[in-house]
Structure 1
Amino acid sequence: MANNNMHSPSENGELKRSLSNRHLQLIAIGGCIGTGLFMGSGKTISLAGPSILFIYMIIGLMIFFVMRALGELLLSNLQYRSFIDFSTDLIGPWAGYFVGWTYWLCWITIGIADLSAIIYYLQFFNGGNPFTPIEGALISVAAIFFIMGLNLLTVKLFGELEFWFALIKIIAILVLIGVGLWMVFTGFSYQERGESFVAAFSNIWGNGGMFPTGMDGFLAGFQIAIFAFVGVELVGTTAAETENPERNLPKAVNSIPIRIIFFYVLALFIVMSVTPWNKIDPNISPFVNLFSHAGIAAAAIIMNLVVLSSVLSSMNSGVFSTSRMLFGLSRESHGPKPFGVLNRRAVPANALYFSTLCLLLGAGLQYFVPDTVKAFTLATTLSTILFICVWLIIMWSYINYYRLRPELHQKSTFKLPGGLFTCWVVIIFFIGMIYVLSLEEDTLQALKISPIWLVILAIGYFFFNKRRKQDK
């Protein structure tokens, strides 16, 4: 568990509980609606067809179980501040070290992917012309410093910004569903590339059935779809800074299935009702396309701004998460001591600066991988692999908790449905997802380089474990 003996300028060096229920609820929604939904859904639909609806429901159910396990663990001991604390306590110091640093790298790689997405969507406002590598790097640097500046202020400001970022995404999807339903019920017709189309629910199953690309296409759809869910566990990293976690955390977790069905399944059902799945361009956001077909003025401008706000929201969450992970790692002697110091606003500023520096190095990728879509795919696949590792450690922690602390499990008012059986189902599913990522060439590349991180971690653990023993 977290070491409380270190002191710093704010509340003896401990994080403040400044996030309200309103903030936590919208952070949970924002975590459910990621950049992957807006940017990656076109490619996912082109691979899997209408079966993408089942893919999102299956992944959503597994993520819900991960979140229920996470919630039960965090509420079993309110001294647990994040994954680091309970994995250290229930598995061992190496697990806390592994999950903390891996989760940190998860959000760094997502931050790099977000930089590629920002550049990609800003090209729309550049007349569709690609930016030069130098222009791309300058845009990345500006975005990084903007997000860092916001996170240096207060935790409450982070919550407020995420509240509004999430609200923008929610309104955009609600409007999309409303406009799409209107198009279907009025039999709206439009032309695209010389072809005529009529919006109708029959477009879902009328072009080869629900599994038109077979099992290969169905499995390929998981590769991109799973990235859309990364960040949903952000609720767990905010637990240490949330008011009344016993009441607010269960409410945020239990609402996840409804949000997934509504924001993912219903939204994509409407998109494929308006445009047949095999006519959706994988390189263009289907959300932008739908509004354009409806003839709504400035639809493309509005949706590109929405997607940009979604990307900034993801970066904002990422910078927040990385700084809190480094703070926790430092407190467990798994990271440099300066990362465990808070500034007068109760923000781990040193940890924040380090994460910012790493993102700046990531901005340099614009020189080496000027193809933003390729850079986005590589970064998102690597982050997906790492997130799966984090989710597996959470489930492993739960298995040990269930066996070693049966009295806490019995007392829990927020249990994981199915207990150990559900744990093993989730573990088998995510191991299967790692295999699925090996089936495509672009995702296989990221899978091949991921073991390098394990080697780096092993070297780092030897160094920090030596320091832990000296501290004792």
Structure 2
Amino acid sequence: MEQEKEFEEKLERGLKERHIQLIALGGAIGVGLFLGSATAIKTAGPGLLLSYLIGGIFIFFIMRSLGELAVSYPVSGSFSAYANKFLGPLAGYITGWTYWFMWVVTCMAEITAVGVYVHFWLPDLPQWIPALLALVVMTVVNIVAVSAFGEFEFWFALIKVMTIVVMIVLGGLMICFGLGNDGIPIGIANLYSQGGFFPTGIKGIIMSLVMVMFAYLGIELIGVAAGEAEHPEKTIPAAINKVFWRILIFYVGALGVIMSLYPWNQLQAIGSPFVLTFSKLGITAAAGIINFVVLTAALSSCNSGIFSTGRMLYNLSLQQQAPQFFGKLSKRHVPFNGILVSFCFLFIGVILNYFVPAEVFIYVTSVATVGAIWVWGIIVLAQLKFRQSLTSEEVAQLKYPAVLYPISNWATLIFLVFVVIIMAFDAGTRVALCVGPVWFGFLLICYYGFGLHKSSKVIIEKKKD
């Protein structure tokens, strides 16, 4: 087996800094904040704000580890390529295929959700039609050029961000000046008058950490985009530094406003807090506005998923851990074959989603839960090994070093293990701990059964300025 080989990726660097900024920002703001935040609030009450702060700190450590690697090695395969080089071909193989599968099943759910959201306006239209249309359109966008993907992702993310900003501003005016409440300031008493700031105790904070961490899922997409970013040594650090604080402000700010306006223990029964807030201000189309926002959020997830799966298959083929068929690019420097195959799986998944029992689909999507923890852990471990391989002179020359190395690495790994343990105590996430090992076992059987352990290569490219 070849120990190492430098190769020249032929992907086009068509993602501008504004694309990278919004890809990272939008990737971590999902439908859950607009529709499902009441569930997380029920678990921890106002203390959920502390959970987001804790989770945000560790996400920051993970992103800085990813940033150090991405600036030093800006390749499309990202975590798979880093795992391959610094942890071995098997780790790269498992990471690449797990991330691919994670996005495939996530997109299946999101595309199906598109049909549900369109049903809000067109109740007589069969749900499979908008779901299929969304899949086709987003696939075509990704096939056209990477800049098309970046442009769509930019505007999808901007819609989500602007909605949150408007909600925070209007909510702040309601809290401070009584806007929409006959001029009577609402204040922040709801944050501490309904059983205190920690109404469910330390248990609520701990149990909410799982939901909090998966709210951040998607932020690592910036690592995949690094391989096609213009001037990654500048755009990646700028995105990571700015996006982390913005996301923390958006989540903590939005949830802080929501729980100030409404008693936390009543939110479960009143629906989407965003719809309620806009409605309270006399915006009659509030439900339609939020439905449009979550529709674009679902399309954004689909867009990102098709982008990620195509690049992951491309990189796996370069490592000889997937058919060489996936290593071919179109005239527009896009991994056409990888995107097309991912489209076929998504198409099958959308069809199956209407026929298989809901429980079966839950089992499949639970792999995405385990996959997220795996990928984050691999990022931290790969950066740890990378740093250990450097001399003191090389460390001094790093353009974007991770913070608090190696304390942040070990603290993050311990935290991720802790989150996995918490998952065992919740019926909704426990299934992931059962299905996850089955998935990894399947990958191992394929790895050795198809002889990939003999042909895999340790390959990574280091881009020059």
Report if aligned partners of 2:70, 2:236 keep a CA contact under 8 Å in 1. Answer: no
Aligned counterpart, 1:321: 308
Q: What is the letter of the counterpart of residue 333 of structure 2?
A: A
Q: What's the CA shift string for 1:109-139, capped at 9, x where partnerless? A: 2112213432443343356x9x9xxx34444
Call closer, same or farther: CA 1:282–1:160 in 2, change over 3 Å: farther
1:67–1:253 Cα contact (<8 Å) kept? yes
String of CA shifts for 1:79-104, please: whole Å, max 9, x gaps. 68512222111111111111111111
2:33 to 37, 40, 63: 37
**1:382 aligns to what?**
367
1:124 aligns with 2:111: no
Asked if 1:244 is matched to 2:231, the reply is yes
Q: Does 1:210 align with 2:197?
A: yes
Kindly indicate whether residue 50 of structure 2 is the aligned counterpart of residue 54 of structure 1: yes
- Residues 325-350 of structure 1: CA distance to partner in whole angstroms, max 9, x if unpaired? 00000011010111111011111111
Pick from 261, 265, 268 the counterpart of residue 274 of structure 1.
261
Task: Show CA shifts across 1:201-246 (max 9, x none).
Answer: 1111111111112233222222222221111011110111001111
Give 1:423's match in structure 2, choosing from 409, 430, 450: 409
1:103 touches 1:390 (CA, 8 Å); kept in 2?
Answer: yes
CA–CA distance in structure 2, aligned partners of residues 377 and 221 of structure 1: 20
1:154 matched residue in structure 2: 145
Residues 86 and 339 (structure 1), Cα distance of their counterparts in 2 relative to 1, 3 Å cut: same
Output aligned runs, 1:71-220, within 5 Å: 71-78=67-74, 82-126=78-122, 135-187=126-178, 199-220=186-207
Measure the CA separation in 2 of the matches of 1:449 and 1:65.
28
* Deviation of 1:295 (Å): 2.0
Alpha-carbon distance, 1:279 to partner = 1.1
Letter in 2 for 1:457: L
Contact kept in structure 2, 1:117 and 1:376, CA below 8 Å: no
CA distance in 2, matches of 1:470, 1:331: 8
1:290 aligns with 2:281: no
Q: Which residue pairs with 1:21 in the alignment?
A: 17
Per-residue CA shift, 1:124-158, capped at 9, x if unaligned?
A: 3356x9x9xxx344443222212111111110011
CA distance, structure 1, for counterparts of residue 128 and residue 391 of structure 2 = 52
Between the aligned partners of 2:244 and 2:193, the Cα distance in structure 1 is: 28
TM-score scaled by length of structure 1:
0.89
Residue 228 (structure 1) aligned with residue 215 (structure 2): yes
Under a length normalisation based on structure 2, what TM-score does the superposition of the two structures give? 0.90
User: How far apart are the structure 1 equivalents of 2:304 and 2:41?
Assistant: 27
Q: Distance in 1 between matches of 2:74 and 2:458?
A: 25
**Inter-partner Cα distance in structure 2 for 1:219 and 1:380:** 23
Partner-residue secondary structure (3-state), 1:152: helix
1:54 maps to amino acid: L
SS class of match (1:386): helix
Following the alignment from structure 1 to structure 2, what is the Cα–Cα distance between the partners of residues 86 and 471?
10
**In the aligned structure 2, how far is the partner of 1:469 from the partner of 1:169?**
41
Change in CA separation of 1:469 and 1:222 when aligned onto 2, cut-off 3 Å = closer
CA 452–182 in structure 1, closer or farther in 2 if over 3 Å, else same: same
Please tell me whether the aligned partners of residues 23 and 157 of structure 2 are also in contact (alpha carbons under 8 angstroms): yes
Change (3 A) 1:204 1:2: farther
- What's the CA shift for 1:2? 8.5
Alignment length (residue pairs): 454
Displacement of 1:283 in angstroms is 8.2
> Quick one: structure 1 residues 415 and 291, their matched pair in 2 at CA, closer, same or farther if it must change by over 3 Å?
same
Identity among equivalent positions (%) equals 38
CA displacement, residues 337-385 of structure 1 (integer Å, 9 cap, x when unaligned): 11111011111111001111111222134334676xx788766643222
List alignment gaps of at least 5 residues for structure 1. Answer: 6-11, 192-196
Q: 1:81 to 1:198 in 2, by over 3 A?
A: same
Secondary structure in structure 1 of the residue aligned to 2:354 = helix
CA contact (8 A) 2:90 2:453 kept: no
Alpha-carbon shift at residue 418 of structure 1 (Å): 0.8
Amino acid paired to 1:409: V
What is the distance in 2 between the residues matched to 1:34 and 1:361? 24
- Check conservation: 1:32, 1:232, Cα contact below 8 A: yes
1:451 alignment counterpart: 437
Q: Does 1:432 align with 2:428?
A: no
- Report the equivalent of 1:400: 385
SS at the partner of 2:317?
helix
Are the aligned partners of 1:74 and 1:80 in contact in 2 as well (CA < 8 Å)?
no
Unaligned runs of 5+ in 2: 460-465
Query: Which sits farther off after the overlay, 115-124 or 420-429?
Result: 115-124
* Separation in structure 2 between the aligned mates of residue 470 and residue 176 of structure 1, nearest angstrom: 50
Of the structure 1 ranges 151-160 and 136-145, higher mean CA displacement relative to structure 2 is found in: 136-145
How far apart, in 1, do the equivalents of 2:334 and 2:200 lie? 49
Structure 1 stretch displaced more, 361-370 or 104-113 = 361-370
1:411 and 2:402 matched: no
Is the Cα–Cα contact under 8 Å of residues 333 and 464 in structure 1 kept in the other structure? Answer: no
